[in-house]
Amino acid sequence: MIPTLLGVTVLVFLFIHLIPGDPAIVMLGEHAAVENVERIREQLGLNKPLLLNLDAVAQVSRGEVSIGEGFKSFFDSQYLGFLGRLLRGDLGKSVHEHTPIADLLKLKIPATVELSLPAMAFAIVMGIPAGIISATRRNSVFDNVSMVGSLVGVSMPIFWLGLMLIYFFGVKLGWFPTYGRFPVDLSLETVTGLYTLDSIIAGDSQALGLALKHLVMPSIALGTIPMAVIARMTRSAMLEVLQEDYIRTAYAKGLRERTVILRHALKNAFLPVITIIGLQVGSLLAGAIMTETVFSWPGVGKWVYDAILARDYPVVQVAVLVITLVIAVINLAVDVSYAFLNPKIRLE
């Protein structure tokens, strides 16, 4: 995990600096004085080399500076300064909002968690049963319809699905709110940052209903692609397991179909399904950027989108690193779970 995170910091740092535009000019405006722009660049460290100061080697060779000063200047770069601050727990400040990034993360992460958990729950609850039924009723009408629907779900852009949900269920029918997490004219005392949980803690059923109504459309939009992938993988894994001899033996012993499917077949087909669920967390977080932007959901995804437009390099770097850390931890948890799901892996 450590080499992965270090590699991500390098890639994100370099890619961010390929975006056209100067954060100093974004902060001060296009008509700012040159000396003011240079002063901001000096404060933000934007006038330093990106990775390493190669000019220090030439200065030492020409005798302009001592070896000690040259060695120190060699590592005086934007990236190493950023990495050093990370190791000290200093996430830096937002260039655009002039606020510590750690404080902003505390506000944004709960919103993304509150959106991602129902979306993944929707994907699992709908995807796994659809895959099981399709496998046990192979080539039936349900199988054909669900697989075509899964193909459409995988192929459908999240932003388009979000706009269609807003148009039909928000604008035309008026069933659900079209943006945000909570009505702007109402207030809710927050403890955890999760509005649904905070509503339950406060015993406010009206606030809970409003929070859930705001969650429905973004969760469906975000969970559609993972649902389709999980359904197809569950069907494929179940079809392979259903051909095994022990399944035929279980039927020959007179066990009920439900027992054979859930206790014997699904248990052995669950490893690839767990793997794909873990991988879908990554696509879920990536899709959150589109979903949160379309629905004006104030989470990490919308935050990253706004930071890219504002050339807020520190925010983008930290946010992507946090997302990478979450994905790495979840993939590690999935790998560890194999030993509990399959005793043979634990013995090996």
Q: How many CA atoms does the CB half-sphere of 215 hold within 13 Å?
A: 22
Give which of 331, 330, 303 is closest to 319, Cα–Cα.
303
Task: Round to whole Å and give the CA distance between 160 and 162.
Answer: 5
* Per-residue pLDDT at 323: 83
Q: Please give the DSSP secondary-structure letter assigned to residue 181.
A: S
Q: Nearest Cα to 222, choosing from 295, 167, 298?
A: 295
- Say if residue 324's pLDDT is above 70: yes
Tabulate helix, strand, coil % of the chain (nearest 5).
75, 0, 25
277-304: pLDDT as tens digits = 888 877 777 667 888 888 888 888 888 8
Q: Per residue in 193-233, pLDDT tens?
A: 788 888 888 888 888 888 888 888 999 888 888 888 888 88
**Domains of the chain, earliest start first:** 101-347 (1.10.3720.10)
Reported as a single tens digit per residue, the pLDDT across 81-129 is 777 778 888 787 787 777 888 888 888 888 888 888 889 899 899 988 8
Half-sphere exposure of 304 (CA within 13 A, CB side): 23
| pTM as predicted | 0.76
